[in-house]
Amino acid sequence: MPVTRLADLIDPAQCPCLVIKVGSSLLVGPQGLRRDWIAGLVDEIAVYRARGQNIIIVSSGAIALGAARLGLDKGGRGSLADAQAAASVGQIALSGLWAELLERHGHTAAQLLLTLDDLEDRRRYLNATATLGRLRDAGAVPVINENDSVATHEIRFGDNDRLAARVAQAVQASAVLLLSDVDGLFDRDPADPAAKLVREVRGISAEIKAMASGSSGSGLGSGGMTSKLQAAEIAEMAGVALAIVNGNHDTPIARALVSDTGTLFLPTEGRRRRDAARKAWLGGRMKLKGDLVIDAGAARALQSGSSLLAAGIAAVNGAFNRGDPVGIVNADGGVLAHGLSEYDSGECALLMGRQSADHEALLGYAPRSAVVHRNQLVLK
């Protein structure tokens, strides 16, 4: 069952995987890290984990915290160099706190610092998703931020709202929860007494966009409502629900979701078909760079939802790199699937027809679990 109400975001049956983005203004106050509030949030997250939800945290706050520690003005956002230096200082303290608080509940934190390219470039996308998948299987809780200390203007996500939506798209999460310092999207400037909270949005129209003012309420983060709507658009394209709620309370998640206070962006019916969204991204406008010809056994395995293993490959056509989209075809040339290849064409040729146990010796390095992972392929 897909997410249809705010409360569904903490229901493991409706939302097995939830990405929670925490804004800078909630994490960092005038005295530095808001330890008690973060501890309360982690207590909540531990409850959801125990109920069986897979939770991925996207944490802002590095620049704001580092700027406070270094005494930089404008919250560390006065120049790119300031922001990068502030992020380096803030990130280490931020991750340390997440790790410490999660550890209290017996959870191991895993830090990932990503740049835009890590999720846009298909080769690096495979790396990031493989890491996130392995962390999920190993039971660790990912804590993600943008890699602000090396990211430059051109490659920055610019804000963690969009980063969270991209992560959700990459791991096929069920929903994204943006914990912010506002209750959600208002139909006009929230300072206007006539402003009303928009509780549900299906499809982001020009009218909805016009409601966003674009300024960050706190001045601490870089987001604001405009970036939240951009995140909602990314989520919508990927068939993922996204909610904006106010985190300025104790047990912020339960309070907002149970009292139904926030804005929930729901993908339109067409988008709910995850496969359609994934197909669009996987295939995109990119031309297939080659083909993997597979045997009948591998074809049956694909139909039943398995990954493509090297043992089932009979021939490799074309020259392609790791991460390139390839066709998966039967002996007659009929296209069975499209997917992203975990290996380049030379390596595929080396591995084809061979059992996984032989791969390390053939490659000279630790092999991947499949040639095309089931999460990275779309049946035709």
For ligand GLU, the binding residues (CB under 6 A) are: 24, 60-64, 87, 145-146, 148, 159-160, 221-223
CB 79, min distance to ligand GLU, A: 15
> How far is 330 from 182, CA to CA, in rounded Å?
54
CB 87, min distance to ligand GLU, A: 6
CB 362, min distance to ligand GLU, A: 41
Q: Yes or no: say if 57 and 24 are a contact pair by the CB < 8 Å rule.
A: no
CB 145, min distance to ligand GLU, A: 5
Kindly tell me which of 69 and 374 has the beta carbon lying closer to ligand GLU. 69
> How far is 373 from 140, CA to CA, in rounded Å?
21
Kindly tell me which of 148 and 347 has the beta carbon lying closer to ligand GLU. 148
Kindly tell me which of 223 and 323 has the beta carbon lying closer to ligand GLU. 223
CB 4, min distance to ligand GLU, A: 27
| Residue count (the chain) | 380
Report the run of H or E that residue 161 belongs to, with start and end: helix 160-171
> How far is 203 from 23, CA to CA, in rounded Å?
24
Q: Yes or no: say if 259 and 289 are a contact pair by the CB < 8 Å rule.
A: no
Q: Report residue 37 as tokens.
A: 């509030």
Q: Yes or no: say if 221 and 148 are a contact pair by the CB < 8 Å rule.
A: no
Quick one: CA torsion of 303, 165, 61, 212, rounded to 10 degrees? -170
CB 121, min distance to ligand GLU, A: 20
Rg (CA), the chain: 22
Kindly tell me which of 223 and 290 has the beta carbon lying closer to ligand GLU. 223
Q: Yes or no: say if 19 and 25 are a contact pair by the CB < 8 Å rule.
A: no
* Secondary structure letter of residue 193 according to DSSP: T
Kindly tell me which of 87 and 244 has the beta carbon lying closer to ligand GLU. 87
Report the residue closest to ligand GLU, judged by CB: 221
Kindly tell me which of 40 and 158 has the beta carbon lying closer to ligand GLU. 158
Q: Of 102, 171, 94, which is closest to residue 134 (Cα–Cα)?
A: 171
Q: Yes or no: say if 165 and 231 are a contact pair by the CB < 8 Å rule.
A: yes
CB 253, min distance to ligand GLU, A: 19
Q: Which amino acid is at 164?
A: A
Kindly tell me which of 25 and 169 has the beta carbon lying closer to ligand GLU. 25
